[in-house]
Amino acid sequence: MRIAVLIKDRCKPKNCSMECIKFCPRVRAGDETVTRGEEGKPVISEELCVGCGICVHKCPFDAIKIIGLAEELKTDLVHQFDQNGFRLFRLPTPKKGSCIGILGPNGIGKTTAIKLLSGQMKPNLGDYDDEPSWEDVLEYYAGTELHDHFKNLANKEIKSVVKPQYVDRLPKIMKGKIRDVLKKADTSGTFDIVVEKLGLAGILDKDIGKGTISGGELQLVSIAAALLKDVDLYFFDEPSSYLDIHQRLKVAHIIKELSEERKVLVIEHDLAVLDFLCDNVHLVYGDEGAYGVVTHPRGVRHAINTYLSGYLKEENIRFGEKIEFFAHPPKKRQEMNILITYDNLSKSFKEFSLEIERGIIRQGEIIGIVGLNAIGKTTFVKMLSGVIEPSSGKIEYDIKVSYKPQYISPDFSGSVREFFEWKAQQLFTSPFLKAEIFKPLNLKYLLDKQMDTLSGGELQRVAIANSLVQEADIYLIDEPSAYLDSEQRMVTSRTVRRVIEKSGKSAMIVDHDVYFIDMISDALIVFDGEPGKNGKGRGPFSLHEGMNRFLKDVDITFRRDEETHRPRVNKPGSYMDRTQRQDGEYYYSM
């Protein structure tokens, strides 16, 4: 089966020389394979197009995709947005008593699947011209598990709630104190229970629209608002963003408990959390902006290992690069040149105090920074970058610093291309930066987009690229994995590591994704204390020692998967959990 897709935000009809028409042999033969439709954009006939590849190669903006798909998918088309538009094949199946995960890259239909299952959209089964009818949908799903689900949706006998992906947008659409917002959302009468479980008592009197609430707090408020609804089906779209590992596992416990009584679907890119939270997982593969295919469910361990392998054996499909985990040997830090020395730093605010023990950062190493939220990690990074001054102590260095903040604001009025031309021209002129940053981060198709229209993941990639391109001795990157899908996180970790190693510079990375920290770090600085009141930073330690200290404080243990060597959370009280605690090995042995 062949499909033709037009990526609309890449199509520039005013600047197009209509090469896709000029060079098509079928057009020259008299067939109208490609015509001009709405706003002068091309319309490709899938019946006439033979997929010769000329169209794809000749379109100056790579807006046209001719894709060959398995013939079996013809009968699995669930939704198509318009002619030459995005297509979704198959849907996940919600099940009571089991937490169902959805795993796949951004832009291939995961959120669309949630909208279809929640009733926000009605499946059109590929008939994009006519209004879809429930009769057609029910006939299509007759004899399947989804038939009863859509029948209940059609009869309005099922209620659902969706925890949105981009929680940082909530202050723009919600006003008032958090207490009032949550009480308004409460239809289950469980306000006090949910507030206690999520630890929200201390922020109930904060105003959600004043911009004083952190990303982690917004995430917890959003999750609480969903949990307070008395509905049949719960959807959680990326519930771990901005949360520290302790909060992530706490939320995972709550959602898993909920799934024993209600139907729950979760989209999650933190593989450690997904592994801990879900029983079965649907993989989603495809082509960003073109199509997405939802696979049949499989056990969570098998699903994640298949995702990391990039290959579906039963369908003989290669859908991504193989991602491998290695226990990289620690660098001999004593043989590396000293870049920065900091000595007993402290910073005091009205309600928070931070202390940093003496430490040394050496040239050519990547330091991971781990710890709970609101414990001083970002404050430490800002002190090193010169954004804020320490109350006491000293930092000895005379170097250039490149800093990517935790929260990125697209306050540039213009396109991504214009932004890079202003801030990072080297991306277009340096062969090294083109090969190591521009291409891996897939920035080509973002260039003509306006900065204020970028998604969270797109904006993150632009910010990371801009940070790495700057001429600096050390790169301070705060939460680079936020809003990136699992594959993008692995690519980003490799990109940062390769740039740092090849340039001989140093980097400090603040992040909560254990997989990301495991892949990118040579050493760790560990923060502990009481969130929101006091924090203390120690290190750098070796990766193993640092994670062992941190996880002991968080009170969880990790092991390596036997097949892929990836980190896996041990279930509390399991044999591996008890054995590792007894041996003092909270992180797997190296």
Segments of the chain assigned to CATH 3.30.70.20: 2-68
Specify burial of residue 157 (Cβ count, 10 A radius: 0-12, 13-18, 19+): exposed
Give the per-residue pLDDT at 57: 63
Q: Please determine, for residue 164, whether its predicted confidence score (pLDDT) is greater than 90.
A: no
When pLDDT is cut at 50, 70 and 90, the band that residue 329 belongs to is low
Provide the mean pLDDT of the chain: 86
When pLDDT is cut at 50, 70 and 90, the band that residue 301 belongs to is very high
Q: Please determine, for residue 146, whether its predicted confidence score (pLDDT) is greater than 60.
A: yes
When pLDDT is cut at 50, 70 and 90, the band that residue 63 belongs to is confident
* Superfamily of domain covering 333-554: P-loop containing nucleotide triphosphate hydrolases (3.40.50.300)
CA distances from 458 to 54, 426, 465, 495 (A): 29, 20, 11, 16
DSSP 3-state assignment of 92? coil
- Is 1.10.1380.10 the CATH classification of the domain at 76-318? no
Dihedral Cα 234, 293, 90, 259, nearest 10 deg: -20
- Mean pLDDT computed over 14-39: 69
DSSP 3-state assignment of 271? helix
Question: Are residues 73 and 312 in contact, defined by beta-carbon separation less than 8 angstroms?
Answer: no
CA distance 101 to 486: 13
Tell me the torsion sign for CA atoms 493, 496, 499, 505: negative
When pLDDT is cut at 50, 70 and 90, the band that residue 444 belongs to is confident
Q: Please determine, for residue 38, whether its predicted confidence score (pLDDT) is greater than 70.
A: no
Map 148-188 to HEC letters. HHHHHHHCCCCCEEEECCCHHHHHHHCCCEHHHHHHHHCCC
The rounded percent of the chain whose pLDDT value lies above 70 is: 92
DSSP 3-state assignment of 296? coil
Query: Of 1, 75, 91, nearest to 296 (Cα)?
Result: 91
- Mean pLDDT computed over 63-72: 81
In sequence order, what DSSP letters do the residues of 420-487 get, joined into one string?
HHHH-THHHH-HHHIIIIITTTT-GGGTTSBGGG--HHHHHHHHHHHHHHS--SEEEEE-TTTT--HH
When pLDDT is cut at 50, 70 and 90, the band that residue 263 belongs to is very high
When pLDDT is cut at 50, 70 and 90, the band that residue 211 belongs to is low
CA distance 439 to 550: 35
Give the per-residue pLDDT at 18: 67
Q: Using the 8-state DSSP alphabet, how is residue 506 labeled?
A: E
Give the per-residue pLDDT at 255: 94
Segments of the chain assigned to CATH 3.40.50.300: 76-318, 333-554
In sequence order, what DSSP letters do the residues of 213-252 get, joined into one string?
S-HHHHHHHHHHHHHTS--SEEEEESTTTT--HHHHHHHH
For tokens 């699995």, what's the residue? 76
- Mean pLDDT computed over 511-520: 87
- Mean pLDDT computed over 182-191: 91
Phi first, then psi, for residue 176 (nearest 5°) are 105, 175
Q: Please determine, for residue 421, whether its predicted confidence score (pLDDT) is greater than 80.
A: yes
Give the per-residue pLDDT at 342: 85
Question: Are residues 113 and 160 in contact, defined by beta-carbon separation less than 8 angstroms?
Answer: no
In tens, the pLDDT along 369-397 reads 998 888 888 888 888 877 788 898 888 77
In sequence order, what DSSP letters do the residues of 339-364 get, joined into one string?
EEEEEEEEEE-SS-EEEE--EEEETT
CA distance 213 to 200: 12
Residue 453: which residues within 8 A CB-CB, separation 6 or more? Answer: none
Residue 571: which residues within 8 A CB-CB, separation 6 or more? Answer: 276, 577
Question: Are residues 89 and 71 in contact, defined by beta-carbon separation less than 8 angstroms?
Answer: no
In tens, the pLDDT along 479-495 reads 898 888 888 888 899 89
Q: Please determine, for residue 99, whether its predicted confidence score (pLDDT) is greater than 90.
A: yes
Higher-scoring residue by pLDDT: 510, 19: 510
Q: Please determine, for residue 27, whether its predicted confidence score (pLDDT) is greater than 80.
A: no
Q: Using the 8-state DSSP alphabet, how is residue 289 labeled?
A: T
Q: What's 2-68's CATH class?
A: alpha beta
Higher-scoring residue by pLDDT: 445, 329: 445
The rounded percent of the chain whose pLDDT value lies above 90 is: 32
In tens, the pLDDT along 280-297 reads 999 999 988 889 999 999
When pLDDT is cut at 50, 70 and 90, the band that residue 333 belongs to is low
**For residue 580, what are the β-bridge partners?**
none
Give the per-residue pLDDT at 306: 92
